[in-house]
Structure formats: C-alpha cells, structure tokens
Amino acid sequence: MSTRVFGFITIGLLLGLAQFITTFAITTWYVSHANRKVDPLADEIRSDFAAGAHTDGQTQDERGAQR
Amino acid sequence: MSALSGLTAAVEFTSVGNPVLNISIFGGFVAVTLIVVLRASRNNKTAADYYAAGRSFTGPQNGTAIAGDYLSAASFLGICGAIAINGADGFLYSIGFLVAWLVALLFVAELMRNTGKFTMADVLSFRLKQRPVRLAAAATTLAVCFFYLLAQMAGAGGLVSLLLGIDEKIGQSIVVAVVGVLMIIYVLIGGMKGTTWVQIIKAGLLIAGAFIMTIWVLTLHGFNFSALLGAAAERGGDALLNPGLQYGLSGISRLDFISLALALVFGTAGLPHVLMRFYTVPTAREARRSVVWAIWLIGVFYLFTLVLGYGAAALIGKEKILAAPGGVNSAAPLLAFELRGPVLLGLISAVAFATILAVVAGLTITAATSFAHDVYASVIKKGKAAPNTEVKVVRITVVVIGVFAIVGGIRVQGQNVAFLVALAFAVAASANLPTILYSLYWKRFTTRGAPWSIYGGLGSAIFLIAFSPVVSGGPTSMVQGVDFHWFDLSNPGIVSIPLGFILGWLGTITSKTLENPAIAAEMEVRSLTGYGAEEASDH
C-alpha cells in the first residue's frame, strides 16, 4: 500500500482514486442501462395499467382506509 | 520550539482573521437566502407543498440540494483536517461517503420515490400494518435526526471559537441560538421548497469555494499533485503518504475502521433527510437523475478536499493546525488565510456557517415531517386528521425541535460529541436500511419483522456506543473520570448492522400471519413502474 508507483504517488492512493473512478463508471453505466432498457418496459406496463388492462378497481389508499 | 510557533500561530490567526468581515459575509448569505425562502414560500398551501415542495424540483436541482444536505461542515472542515493530520487515512472517509451513494442509486432512490409520499415510513407501511411500523420508523427517523442535529449544533459552537475569535461560553451560546433561530425561520416559512433552495445555494458556494482554493493550492505546486504530496511529506514526514497512520495501529483499530466503513456505506441510503429529498421530484426518473448529479458533485468535491488537505499539510503543517483554536477543523480556514488573507478566510468561514445552517434546516424539516405525518396523523389521529391540521402540527413541531436543538447545542458545548455523526450513520445503516430493503425486495417480509429490525438495530447501536471508548474510558471520551466501557470499538456498525438484518429476517419467519399478497403485488408494480405514484402538484 505504501509502495511508490511514481513520484510521491502510492499504491494506496491510486486504489482510493480508483474507487472514485469505479463509482463514476458504475453510475454512468447504470443510468444508460436504465434509460435504454428499464424505462421503456416500465412505461409500457404503466400505460397498460392506465388503459385498465389489469385493474381490480381499487387502489392501496382505498384499501388502507378500509383496514 | 514547535509548541512556541504553534502558540504564536494561534494568536496571529485569531487576531488577523477579521471577525467583522466574517460576520458581514455570513450576514450577506443569510439575507440572500431569506429573500429566496420568502419568495419560495408563496406557494406553500398543501401538505405536499410543505413536505415535498410540490414535487416540482428537477433532477439537477434536487441533486445539488442533496449534495448541499449531505456535505456537512464535518465533511468539509473535518475531512480537510483529517487528511492534513492523518494523510491517506483521512481520504478513506471521502471514499466511504462517496461509494455509499451507489447503494442509494442502485437499490433505493427510484423505488422510494414511486412507493412513498412524504416519509420513509410511507414505504415501510405500504403493505404492512400502519401503526406499529410507522411508530418504529418515526422513532429511528427522530433518533437519527436528533443525533445529527446535536453534532451540527455543537460544531457551530466550536466553529465560532475558531472563526470569530469568541472563546467565552456565552458568546458561543449566542451563536448556537442564532443558528437555531435562523433554522426555525427558514423551515417555518419556506417549508421543503425554501429549505431546498438554501441547500442549493449553499452547495454552490461550498463547491465553488473549495474549487477556488484547490486551484490556488495546485498553482503553487505547478499543477503537479505528486509535487504537492512531496511538499506535504517534506513538512509532515513520509507517514502522511502511507496508509495506516490512523487506522493501521492495531487489530482493534483496523476492525474499527471496517465497522466505520460499513456504517458509512450502508448508512447513507438510510439517512432520513436524504430519503426525504427523493420526494421533491416529479418522477422516479428525476430521482435517478438527482442521485447522478449528487454523485458527481460529491465526488468532485471530495477530490478537492484531497488537494486541500494535503495543501494544508504542505503549507501550514500539522503542529500549527493542531495548535490553532478548533484543532483539526482549522486546517481549511488556516489554508484559506495562508492563500489569500482575511477575505478568503471570511468567505470560507461564511461558507462553513452556511453549511451548518443548511444541514440543520434539512434535518429539522425531516424530523418534523416524520412526527406530523407518521406519529400525529397516522398513529394519534389514525389517518383521519384534516390535511390543514397536519401542516399546523408540522410547524409547531419545527419550533419544538428548533428549541430542543438550541438547548442541546448549548449544553453539549465543550464536550467531545463528534461520535454522534458516526452514530447517526450507524443507526441509519442498522435500523433503516434493512427494513427499507426488505420491504422493497422481499415479499414475505411481515409486520413483525419491521419493528424487530428497527428497534433491534437502533437499540444495539446506541447500547454499544454507550459502552464504547467514545463515551468513557478513553483519552478523548465524552465522560471523563469514570470508565464503564467494555466494547472496544468506537463504531458499533459491525455488530449492529448484521443484527438489524438478522432480526428483520427472524421476526418475519417466526410470524404466523402473512401479509396480503395482493398489496405486495401492487407495491411491486408501483415501485418498479411508477403506476399510481404520487404526482407533482401543478403550480
């Protein structure tokens, strides 16, 4: 961890900075995946429901009031 | 020799830093934010307006506000100081605080936004019995907010002695009271919308201030980070560059570090004031964009603090920082003074105060909302409270919490309560995150599992902290003179987080009553697609 890679930069510091890079990379990857793959599916299901394809005519709030 | 130079440094610092300038810059911030809060308050009519800003913020706006809410004075002054004193080990905090956001992004933010309305309890009680679950969720929300609030108020008191040269107890108490009263005014008048704008403005100032200082530090070292590290090592010794200065001393300190890291990484996505911010945007997609903005802003900010911390180590030196009033926390202000004299010091001081103010405002509105919405409206009035009375109750609660914070902040002055922030994260990780994940992802989860997990995680974290070296038996303990500690770690997370998860599972598999599968199915659809989710109000 304390080994110098170049100049005064140690392996430990590079590993720490690598965690910043992986965090940014995972964020970017997840968002592009969600925008491309997940959102269209969710939109489709939601519009199906809105069109009345699967409703049982009662929302959670109404049921909650009855409980 | 070093003690002498440290002493002169302290004297020089308090006499050269200009309190009048510091106060007028901070006064300017207060004036601008008050105008913004007053303008924002004109549309506060319904509960959704007051609690969730009408769900009208965009992802980038909310992401900036999240950064403003999350980057407390502890992460600015504290991390700069930790890096200046402990080198690479100080940087470990930044890594933990940043990486934690992946949990929020990948598992929590969007589903929370779709399922809930105003509070964390909305999600937990969606398909479980309302009263016991809401009561438990309100208990941990109030506990986390209270610990965090007390730490911030104590920090405000400590900051004045550092920045304004006020060492007397009475002066510090007045400053704590001023911060508390301003916080009450912001939250009372502005609600969530006003609080959000205060956080956005503060995040802008904080990140801009850190950026300017970073550029100056790098300019002095030819924009060569390795040269900056070399200068820091020359002044403070090679150990500053090598990991392990703070946490590598013994097996216990290594274990303590893992425990802290667990609390940071699992706690962030369970912090109630962070969770509540997800309700201020119109859709789950905007909630996702908020977290992305927050991750970039917070990540870049922590890279700045890495430069600033090593810059303080190189330009000021460890002894001078530790000898200054405020100790570790003085690294960033001292660096500002070293770089550009009293004006930059005044700016950075004002930003530090603005930081505390914005964070306490966010905590107060979260705690008050949880009490009014979960305890008053759902438990006391059993869901039959008129909407107007709920907003009235939230305003009264804001004042009560504000007064509590002022009194508490004055009482804990001079005591070492820095552990309260770590405790808040530990409770959020042990009590909040397990129940959130279980109720979102485990259909079998039952009404018995939620309170078991919440009270178990909350109780064990507080219990272990009470018998740890931060409370008694250590050189910097809160209570001096007696030693009743038997738990050697300063961070309870490594025990309390697994306990919270196990208790939630145990409570569920041992309960005979099953929850309604139809509501579970509805919750799944709603959380994943946003069908039936709360919509933005139109104005």
Q: Which residue has the higher pLDDT, B45 or B90?
A: B90
Cβ pairs bridging A and B (under 8 Å): 100
Residue B225 near residue A6, CB atoms below 8 Å: no
Note the pLDDT of residue B249: 80
Is residue B15 very low, low, confident or very high in pLDDT (cuts 50, 70, 90)?
Answer: very low
**Does B132 have pLDDT greater than 90?**
yes
Residue B18 near residue B499, CB atoms below 8 Å: no
Q: What is the per-residue pLDDT across B156-202, written as a single tens digit (0 to 9) for each?
A: 777 776 777 677 788 888 888 988 999 999 999 889 999 999 999 99
B162 touches chain A (CB under 8 A): no
Residue-range domain boundaries for chain B: 2-396
Percent residues over pLDDT 70 in chain B = 96
How far apart, in Å, are the Cα atoms of B391 and each of B47, B272, B280?
6, 19, 17
Note the pLDDT of residue B5: 42
Q: What is the per-residue pLDDT across B77-95, written as a single tens digit (0 to 9) for each?
A: 889 999 999 988 899 999 9
Q: Which residue has the higher pLDDT, B357 or B455?
A: B455
Q: What is the rounded average pLDDT for all residues in chain B?
A: 89
Interface test with A, best of B89, B95, B298, B303 (most A CBs within 10 A): B95
Note the pLDDT of residue A66: 42
HSE (side-chain half, CA atoms, 13 Å) at B286: 20
For residue A44, the distance in angstroms to the closest alpha carbon of chain B comes to 9
Note the pLDDT of residue B9: 44
Could you give the dihedral angle defined by the CA atoms of residues B83, B86, B89 and B90, in that order, rounded to the nearest 10 degrees? -30
Select from B130, B226, B285 the Cβ nearest to the Cβ of A7: B226
Note the pLDDT of residue B230: 93
Select from B106, B519, B523 the Cβ nearest to the Cβ of A30: B106
Note the pLDDT of residue A54: 55
Poorest-confidence range of A2-6, B7-11, B224-228, B436-440? Answer: B7-11
Is residue B539 very low, low, confident or very high in pLDDT (cuts 50, 70, 90)?
Answer: low
**Does B220 have pLDDT greater than 90?**
yes
DSSP string, B481-510: S--------S-THHHHHHHHHHHHHHHHHH
Indicate the fold that domain B2-396 takes in CATH.
Answer: Sodium/glucose cotransporter (1.20.1730)
Pairwise CB contact (< 8 Å): A59 & B91: no
DSSP string, B169-198: HHHHHHHHHHHHHHHHHHHHHHHHHHHHHH
Pairwise CB contact (< 8 Å): A59 & B532: yes
Residue of B nearest to A28 (CA): B292
CB-CB neighbors (< 8 A) of A27 in chain B: 101-102, 105, 291-292, 295-296
CA distance B139 to B318: 41
Q: Which residue has the higher pLDDT, B141 or B385?
A: B141
**Does A65 have pLDDT greater than 50?**
no
Taking only residues 13 to 42 of chain A, the set having a beta carbon closer than 8 angstroms to any beta carbon of chain B reads: 13, 16, 19-20, 23-24, 26-27, 30-31, 34, 39, 42
Note the pLDDT of residue B17: 61
Token pair for B453: 């997990």
N-to-C CA span, chain A: 59
Pairwise CB contact (< 8 Å): B88 & A42: no
Note the pLDDT of residue B239: 87
Percent residues over pLDDT 70 in chain A = 78
Residue of B nearest to A9 (CA): B226
B242 touches chain A (CB under 8 A): yes
For residue B226, the distance in angstroms to the closest alpha carbon of chain A comes to 5
Q: Which amino acid is at B8?
A: T
Q: What is the per-residue pLDDT across B401-439, written as a single tens digit (0 to 9) for each?
A: 999 999 998 888 777 777 888 899 999 999 999 999 999
Residue B209 near residue B351, CB atoms below 8 Å: yes
- Residues B300-310 have a mean pLDDT of 96
Q: What is the per-residue pLDDT across A50-63, written as a single tens digit (0 to 9) for each?
A: 887 555 544 545 44
Token pair for A28: 């970017």
Q: Which amino acid is at B239?
A: A
Question: Longest Cα pair distance anywhere in chain A, in angstroms?
Answer: 70
Note the pLDDT of residue A53: 59
ipTM over the 0.85 cut-off: yes
Note the pLDDT of residue A56: 52
CB-CB neighbors (< 8 A) of A60 in chain B: 126-127, 519, 522-523, 526, 532
CA distance B12 to B5: 10
Pairwise CB contact (< 8 Å): A8 & B230: yes
